[in-house]
């Protein structure tokens, strides 16, 4: 069975890389690398956007008296640490992987340039987009939306820990919460569903990009999504 996508953005949370003992976990990094390899080997171009919640969270900045702009930049630096860790894990699988950062840290990775990113992807290399958008006040969800638009990705795979999709209410609080298998961007905005940052949803509305929200505990789900199977929740125009 062929894939319905040629190029995707994989959106990962920083928490997906960590455990309760530390900010990074070898087994979780290896699992991410294995998933990326399977997507890559199936002939799909892979870009990755990773958060930094395992290292730094904005509300911590507020609690210790750091202004939001500075706190956001600290989070962007955290995404670079996570990106380098994922790069190392992917390269151990024998795949060429480049980290491109919106914040210039030339000693450790390349600066983000749209044409350069597309060039790497066209060559079949995995690209990790680090440093957020390079601006405070924007989340890595918005980074994922922006990069998907810039490099011509057809879908964003929002793989989450312990989440099988989008529900009509919080399943942790409401045992009768129902899974929503398909949503429009307009519905997400109007109902303010906590899928992703609403700025990112607004950017994607009307652009033809599809978001898949599903649990990352089973790597087979990734291949099913790429093959067009209905897994978790699909968000589209």
CB-count burial class (<10 Å; 0-12, 13-18, 19+) for 208: exposed
Mean pLDDT, each 10-residue run in order, the chain (237 residues): 91 92 94 97 97 88 91 96 98 98 96 98 98 96 97 95 85 88 95 88 96 92 94 94
pLDDT at 162: 75
Q: Domain residue spans in the chain?
A: 7-236
pLDDT at 1: 57
Q: Of all helices (H) and strands (E), which one includes residue 66?
A: none
d(CA 100, CA 103): 9
R_g of the chain computed on alpha carbons: 17
Q: How many CB atoms lie within 10 A of CB 7?
A: 17
Signed CA dihedral, 203, 209, 210, 211: sign only: negative
**pLDDT for the residue numbered 174:** 87
Say yes or no: domain 7-236 is CATH 3.40.1160.10.
yes
Angular region, 11: left φ>0, alpha ψ -120 to 50, beta rest? beta
The CA-atom distances, in angstroms, between 7 and each of 150, 203, 222 are: 12, 19, 13
């Amino acid at each position: 069975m062929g894939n319905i996508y040629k190029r995707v953005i994989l959106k990962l949370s920083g928490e997906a890389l960590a455990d309760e003992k530390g900010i990074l976990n070898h087994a979780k990094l290896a699992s991410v690398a294995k998933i990326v390899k399977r997507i890559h080997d199936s002939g799909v171009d892979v870009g990755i956007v990773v958060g930094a919640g395992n290292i730094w969270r904005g509300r911590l900045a507020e609690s210790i008296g750091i202004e939001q702009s500075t706190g956001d930049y600290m989070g962007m630096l955290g995404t670079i640490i996570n990106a380098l860790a994922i790069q190392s894990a992917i390269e151990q699988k024998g795949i060429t992987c480049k980290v491109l950062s919106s914040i210039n840290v030339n000693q450790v990775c390349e600066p983000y340039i749209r044409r350069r990113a597309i060039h790497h992807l066209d060559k079949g290399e995995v690209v990790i987009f680090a440093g957020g958008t390079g601006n405070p006040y924007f989340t890595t969800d918005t980074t994922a939306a922006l990069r998907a638009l810039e490099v011509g990705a057809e879908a964003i795979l929002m793989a989450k820990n312990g989440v099988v999709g989008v529900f009509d209410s919080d399943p942790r609080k409401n045992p009768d919460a129902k899974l929503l298998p398909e949503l429009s961007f307009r519905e997400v905005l109007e109902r303010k569903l906590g899928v992703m940052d609403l700025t990112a949803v607004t950017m994607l509305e009307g652009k033809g990009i599809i978001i898949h929200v599903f649990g990352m505990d089973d790597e087979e789900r990734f291949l099913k999504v790429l093959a067009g199977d209905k897994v978790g929740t699909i968000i589209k125009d």
